Amino acid sequence: MMQNSRRVFLLLAGAVLLGAIVQRTEVLSKKTASPTPTPNTPLPTPSNTKAIPSSTPTPSKNTASPKPTDTPTEASSPQATQTPVLEGVVIAKSADLILRQTRVFSLKDSFGIPTSYSLTRTSRGVVAFDTRCTHAGAPCVLSESLLQCPAHGSVFDPENGEVVRGPAVEPLKSYRTLEVNGEVRIVIS
């Protein structure tokens, strides 16, 4: 008998607790659903426009004056100066690369380990590739305007990352680059 009453008590306590959680969730969802003005956004003000009387009167017993609208006439924009967030990491200066020139640059990762990237200025802009060989992972070196793996002899084209000579069969991993304010930025993700 004692176990049955304990089970009933636990079931009731669980139901009450579940009801309290559901009620709290509903209260929180109602709070977040109501819009609150942000400090940078000006509150809308009623416009001071007057109603223009129409030429044809409409018969009605209840004439109400027009209510001012709360829609602003212009889209408001924040007045605070915002600096644009630039993507990527600065890897080189724009002046470091001339057309059809390839150079290898290094960046340190969050652990302080340097990683090399091949940058080439083409007619399309600056292209970047990982210098690790796709065959064995050894870092390629720049040799006669081509990227060559010293481990097994794979050769890659630095303008498109394609394999020129194997044993590698996969092209080099490419990275997106941006050229902003005289800097070349590489987006590593």
| Segment 22-41 mean pLDDT | 56
Residue 156's pLDDT is what? Answer: 93
Q: What is the DSSP string of 107-162?
A: EE-TTS-EEEEEEEEETTEEEEEE-B-TTT-PBPEEETTEEE-TTT--EE-TTT--
Residue 6 half-sphere exposure toward CB, CA atoms < 13 A: 3
Q: Is the pLDDT of residue 23 over 90?
A: no
Q: What is the pLDDT of residues 154-175, one digit of tens each?
A: 999 988 989 998 898 999 998 9
Residue 145's pLDDT is what? Answer: 85
Strand order of the β-sheet with 141-143 is 141-143, 146-148, 155-156, 163-165
Is residue 183 within 8 A of residue 94, CB to CB? The reply is yes
Q: Is the pLDDT of residue 98 over 70?
A: yes
Residue 45's pLDDT is what? Answer: 47
* CA max distance for the chain: 95
CA distance 150 to 142: 10
Q: What is the DSSP letter of 96?
A: G
Query: Smallest Cα–Cα separation from 119: which of 130, 133, 108, 109?
Result: 130
Q: Is the pLDDT of residue 41 over 50?
A: no
Q: What percent of the chain has pLDDT over 70?
A: 65
Residue 33's pLDDT is what? Answer: 47
CA distance 116 to 5: 71
CA distance 91 to 187: 10
What token pair was written down for 95? 């002046």
Higher pLDDT, 63 or 3: 3
Residue 28 pLDDT class (50, 70, 90 cuts): low
Residue 14's pLDDT is what? Answer: 72
Residue 61's pLDDT is what? Answer: 52
Collapsed DSSP state (helix, strand, coil) of residue 99: strand
What token pair was written down for 129? 């590739």
Q: What is the pLDDT of residues 68-97, one digit of tens each?
A: 555 444 544 455 555 556 777 888 888 888
| Segment 128-157 mean pLDDT | 89
